[in-house]
Amino acid sequence: MNIHHDNWSALLACIGKPEELDASARNAGALIRRREIRDAGTLLHLGLAYGPGGMSLREATAWAQLHGIAELSDVALMKRLQNAVDWFAILAAQTLAARAGFTGCTGYRKLRLIDGTAIGAPGGGSVQWRLHMGYDPHTCQFTDFELTSSREAERLERFAQTADERRIADRGFGSHPECIRSLAVGEADYIVRVHWRGLRWLTPEGKRFDMSKWMLCGQRTLNLQKPGYLQICSRLS
């Protein structure tokens, strides 16, 4: 992301009008005092410099003073950015929603890739956060993201579902029963790799499903023919 001072006006115009940004920042509690940061656009400018821009707090404050953007200490900037977390999340969600509003997809089903990644503190420390993401391969755009603590597990139903959607996830999502349950109750369809011995498979009647026997029969597909139950597909050629 290019957040240099000479490109800022064009970038800000893509995010929102100054008066709308000021109003949303006030409502989110991000812009209460204007003594050091005069408006929401300046706060966003500093936030992008520190985050996507890759600057440290000291570098961001020095850069802002050099370009006449704002004059404040690194500690003051840290406090302002901490108060603006919810507002940044609102702006990010609005921007993603606007970009994902038109997909141009002409197929019957939309595809969405779901995944997550662990994030550790600088210096090789332990994992502290987990970033959950949704991606549309047709438009080559991220549709959703959520930053949580590392204790929050990956879940297929984390983001809002639509009935015309197919979600694809890796085997990490298929290794926990709580993830698999969302396949039965959610609106979307799912393609998830699971280990046939890693879960307890049951028929709609509650009896144990004999996976080995079913595979030896050479059947390609078993459709339980009841709403809310999974369709099990064999990987045998």
Same domain for 71 and 51: yes
Same domain for 95 and 109: no
Last residue of one domain, picked from the residues 166, 181, 199:
199
Q: For the ranges 61-65, 90-94, 180-184, 198-202, which has the lowest average pLDDT?
A: 180-184
Same domain for 86 and 165: no
Judge whether 92 and 145 are in contact, CB under 8 Å. Answer: yes
Same domain for 67 and 15: yes
Same domain for 183 and 142: yes
* Cβ atoms within 10 Å of 199's Cβ, excluding its own: 14
On whether residue 44 sits in a domain, the answer given is yes
On whether residue 233 sits in a domain, the answer given is no
Last residue of one domain, picked from the residues 54, 70, 99:
99
More confident residue, 207 or 234: 207
When the pLDDT of each residue in the chain is averaged and rounded to a whole number, the result is 78
For residues 49 and 43, what is the distance between their CA atoms, to the nearest angstrom?
Answer: 10
On whether residue 207 sits in a domain, the answer given is no
Same domain for 82 and 55: yes
Structural domain span for residue 54:
5-99
Most confident range, picked from 121-125, 130-134, 183-187? 130-134
pLDDT value of position 178: 65
On whether residue 235 sits in a domain, the answer given is no
Q: Between the CA atoms of 79, 144, 177 and 118, what dihedral angle is there, to the nearest 10 degrees? A: -50
For residues 186 and 173, what is the distance between their CA atoms, to the nearest angstrom?
Answer: 15
Q: What is the pLDDT of residues 151-182, one digit of tens each?
A: 888 887 788 877 778 888 887 776 666 666 66
Last residue of one domain, picked from the residues 99, 127, 144:
99
- Residue 230 above 80 pLDDT? no
More confident residue, 114 or 194: 114
Same domain for 76 and 127: no
Q: What is the pLDDT of residues 7-58, one digit of tens each?
A: 788 888 888 888 999 999 999 999 887 888 989 999 999 999 998 888 899 9
Same domain for 94 and 9: yes
Same domain for 111 and 93: no
Judge whether 116 and 131 are in contact, CB under 8 Å. Answer: yes
- Residue 140 above 60 pLDDT? yes
Same domain for 189 and 109: yes
Same domain for 168 and 118: yes
For residues 224 and 209, what is the distance between their CA atoms, to the nearest angstrom?
Answer: 11
Give me the number of domains the chain comprises: 2
On whether residue 35 sits in a domain, the answer given is yes
* Cβ atoms within 10 Å of 114's Cβ, excluding its own: 24
Judge whether 109 and 166 are in contact, CB under 8 Å. Answer: yes
Same domain for 132 and 86: no
> Kindly report the CA angle at 90 between 137 and 154, in degrees rounded to 5?
50
On whether residue 229 sits in a domain, the answer given is no
Share of the chain above pLDDT 90, in %: 22
